[in-house]
Amino acid sequence: MPITRISIGTPAEASKPDAIKAAVAEFISMLIFVFAGEGSGMAFAKLTNGGGSTPAGLIAAAIAHAFALFVAVSVGANVSGGHVNPAVTFGAFVGGHITLFRSILYWIAQLLGAVVACLLLKLSTGGLETSAFALSSGVSVWNALLFEIVMTFGLVYTVYATAVDPKKGEIGIIAPIAIGFIVGANILAGGAFDGASMNPAVSFGPAVVSWTWENHWVYWLGPFVGAGVAALIYEVLFINQGGHERLPTVDY
C-alpha cells in the first residue's frame, strides 16, 4: 500500500545541493507559470476594458495556462520533477515518491514563486490588480470545493499516468503536454464557477498581493484532497508494488 511507503525524511535534506537546486527549479517554474497565466488574464481585461469574465476571456485563460504549464513543467522536469503545484507535490508524497521534508521545501519555493510573479506583474503593469480567485455568483463553497477536488484529481491522475508510473514508456515524452492540456480543459470546465485553480500556489500569490482571503481555504483543501485520492487510486490499482523499485526521492 502507498501509505506504507510514505517517507518523512530529515531536516538535513534542506541543505543538500540537489534539494536546493530542485527548490530553485520549482521557484522559477512557478514564477514562469503564474506570471504568464495571471498576466494573460490581466492583459485580456485591459484590452477589453474589464471584459475578462467572458467566454473569450475564459478561452484565452485556458490556452495561456495550458501553454505556460507545458513550458513550466518541461523546464523543471529534469531538476525537480516539474511539479509546479503544491497539490502535485502532495500527491507524490502520498505515493511515496518524495519525502515530507523535501515536500515542504518544494511548497515554500512554489508559494514564493507565485508571490514574486504577482508582485512583478503589479510592478510591471503600473499597479494593476492581481485578482484573487473567487466564487462566481450562485456558486457555494461546497460546489467550488467539489469542483477543485474533481479537477485536481484529473490533473494528478494525469501526472501519475504520464510522468510517475515506471511503466509509462515513451508516453513520458508527452507528459508536459498532457499536464498542460488537462489544466486548460479543466479551466474551460470550472473557470466560470470558481476560477479553476487546482493549484494552491496559483491561488496564494494573487491573494497575498491583493490581500483577499475570502473562501481561500477552498483552494487548498480541494486540490489536496483531489491529489491525495488520485495518488492512492493510481498507486493501488495501476502501479505494481512488487514489480518495480521505489523511485529514489533524490531523482524525482
pLDDT of residue 9: 86
d(CA 241, CA 231): 13
Nearest to 152 by CA among 80, 211, 224, 204: 224
pLDDT of residue 44: 86
Give the CA angle between residues 35, 38, 42 to the nearest 5°. 115
Nearest to 44 by CA among 32, 65, 61: 61
Which residue positions in the chain have pLDDT lower than 50? 243-252
In Å, the largest CA–CA distance within the chain is 58
Q: Encode pLDDT of 6-27 as tens digits.
A: 889 888 888 899 999 999 999 9
State which H helix or E strand residue 120 sits in.
helix 100-124
Per the prediction, the chain carries an average pLDDT of 91
Q: Encode pLDDT of 32-61 as tens digits.
A: 999 999 999 899 888 887 655 788 889 999
Helix, strand or coil, per DSSP, at residue 16: coil
d(CA 177, CA 173): 9
State which H helix or E strand residue 20 sits in.
helix 17-47
Domains of the chain listed by start with CATH number? 14-241 (1.20.1080.10)
pLDDT of residue 246: 45
In which residue are the cell numbers 518495480 written? 244
Whole-prediction pTM: 0.92
